[in-house]
Amino acid sequence: MPDSYALFGYPVYHSWSPFIHGLFARQTGQDMVYRLHEAPPDQFRHDLLEFFFEQGGSGANITLPHKRAAADLVNELTPRAQRADAVNTVLRRDGELIGDNTDGVGLVADLTQNLRLRLTSPRILMLGAGGAARGAIGPLLELRPSTLVIANRTARRAIELAEEFSSLGEVSGAAFDGVEPLEPFDLIINATSASLKGEVPPIHSRAVDRATTCYDMAYGIGETPFTQWARDRGVTRVAQGWGMLVEQAAEAFFVWRGVRPQTRPVLEALHARAMYLATTANTRS
Ligand code: ATR
C-alpha cells in the first residue's frame, strides 16, 4: 500500500498540490498517493485530522482557510509554525500531531534559488499584514535586510505584526500612505489579497525603480494586477507565486519523506500544464 497524504482546505479542488507531489514522488521513487479533502470551516476539527492519521495517513497539508485554525488543532508546533501562527504541513510523531509551516522558507527558496536574487542587506517592502505576510516575515528577516517595512491598508495590523517580530531584525509597520521612501526598495512582495479582486495596493512611486524586484505571492496565467503595475514602471525582475508554491511543497515533502526533490523540472511542468489548460479553456469559451 502506498503511503497516504492529503490536502485539507475549502475550496480545494482547484489545487495543484496533487500534481506537484505526484511529480516529486515519481522523481524520487517514493511510493505515495496525495489526495484532496474538502473540509468546510465548521467541519475542520482535531478529530478530522486525527481520523485521517488513524486511518493510516502519513502526512497532511493545510490550505486556506484553515492554516490558522490548524495551529490550534495540533499538539505541537515547530518554531517556524509558531512564529507564523499558522500551519500548512502536519505529520504525526509518537502519536502526537506536529504542525509545521513551509510557506516562508518556500518564498525565500524561490527568491534566492530560482530567481537567484543576491540580496546584501536588502531593503524590503512587504505589502499586507494577513496570514500570507505573517508566514514570510521570519524567513525574510533571516536574509538580514537593512530594513523590512510592512505596509497595510489597516495600519494597526502592520504595526502590531512588526512589533511581534522586532526582536528578530529591522522591521517596522505603516499604512500604505505612510511609506514615503527616500530611495527605492530592492524587493517588494505583494502578500495582500488585492490581486484576487483585480486591485493593486496604493504604493508610493518612489518605492520602486527598474532595479526593484517585484514579487506577487498570488499566481495565475498572464500578469496579475501587481505584476502588470510593476512592468508598467519598467521593472524587469517580476515574478508570481508559482515558485513559492512548488518550493513550499518541496519542503513539506522533505519534512515527510526525508528526501529533497528537484524543484526546477516540476516548476517547468507546472507552467506547461497551466498554460495548456488556459489555452484549452480559452478555445472552448
Ligand atoms: P491571507 O491569509 O491571504 O493573507 P488575510 O489574512 O485575510 O488573508 O489578509 C489579507 C490581506 O490583504 C490583508 O493585509 C488585507 O488588508 P487589511 O488588513 O486592511 O484587511 C489585504 N487586502 C485585502 N484586500 C485588499 C485591497 N483591495 N487592497 C489592499 N490590501 C488588501
Three-state DSSP string of 148-205: EEEEECCHHHHHHHHHHHHHHCCEEEEEHHHCCCCCCCCEEEECCCHHHHCCCCCCCH
Q: Which atom of ligand 1 is closest in space to residue 68's alpha carbon?
A: 2
Residues 145, 21 share a domain: no
> Is residue 284 scored above 70 in pLDDT?
no
Q: Residues 181-195: pLDDT tens digits?
A: 889 999 999 999 998
Q: Rounded to whole angstroms, how far apart are CA atoms 2 and 254?
A: 17
Q: Is 87 contained in some domain?
A: yes
Range of the domain at 81: 3-101
Residues 71, 152 share a domain: no
Residues 146, 76 share a domain: no
Residues 154, 58 share a domain: no
Residues 61, 138 share a domain: no
Residues 113, 39 share a domain: no
Q: How far is the CA of 129 from the centre of ligand 1 (A)?
A: 7
Q: How far is the CA of 131 from the centre of ligand 1 (A)?
A: 9
CATH of the domain at 39: 3.40.50.10860
Known catalytic residues are 67
Pocket of ligand 1 (CB under 6 A): 128-132, 152-154, 157, 191-194, 197, 199, 201
What pLDDT is recorded for position 285? 45
**Number of folded domains in the chain?**
2
Mean pLDDT for the stretch of residues 143-172: 97
Residues 82, 186 share a domain: no
Does pTM surpass 0.85? Answer: yes
Residues 205, 137 share a domain: yes
Q: Residues 46-84: pLDDT tens digits?
A: 889 989 999 999 999 999 999 999 999 999 999 999 999
Residues 218, 129 share a domain: yes
Q: Residues 195-209: pLDDT tens digits?
A: 889 999 999 999 999
CATH of the domain at 130: 3.40.50.720
